[in-house]
Amino acid sequence: WIRRNSAVMLFGLSGVIGQFVQVPAVAVAGGRVLCSSALLLVLSLVSHTPLRLHSRRDLALALFTGVVLAVHWTSFFQSIQLSSVAIGTITFSTFPLFLTFLEPLFFHEKLRPQNILSAVVLLVGVFITIPEFSTENQVTAGILWGMLSSFAYAVMSLANRRLSASYPSRTVCLYEQATAAVVLAPAFFLVD
């Protein structure tokens, strides 16, 4: 209970911090994954967590997921900076909408009417928050970035489902965070 609530609080706190940091979202995301990958590497080495992946296919999936993670965090922080923490968090939380339709494609699971109904309710909830259908509107732009973040998180969840069946979660996270850090590293030199 304490771990779960602490995780939720820390995730929400990252959104609050992301809104008040006066640097581009890509740099905030880059700083986040750089710090987390360094910490995960230290924890993995101290705890002797196995870091080797069994196949090139698993390595390719972990690297792909790291790129998706870079998209997720950048779009999440962009959503928050354009609109608000509430909009960024609400739209990110719609990832089950995407999972409803992606899981049957990748894991051949049955598409359930209950899940479709939940997805429709989530989508209606997002539409309610849209003030106008124009990307010139900051809130609407924030919602679109948040939905991209949500989609990226859904894709990442599916990949993690596959990887976590064979590897410790710390190993999977380290590969993903480090890949995202490498992908976002140029932002530190290219943005003000």
CB of 139 within 8 A of CB of 131?
Answer: yes
Residue 122 Cα distances to 78, 86, 147, angstroms: 21, 15, 11
User: What is the distance between the alpha carbons of residues 53 and 31, in angstroms, rounded to a whole number?
Assistant: 26
List the pLDDT tens digit at each of the 192 positions of the chain: 677 777 767 766 777 777 777 888 899 899 999 999 999 999 999 999 989 999 999 999 999 999 999 999 999 999 999 988 888 888 888 888 888 888 888 877 787 888 788 878 877 877 777 777 777 788 888 889 999 999 999 999 999 999 998 999 999 999 999 999 999 999 888 887
What pLDDT score was predicted for residue 177?
A: 95
pTM of the model: 0.85
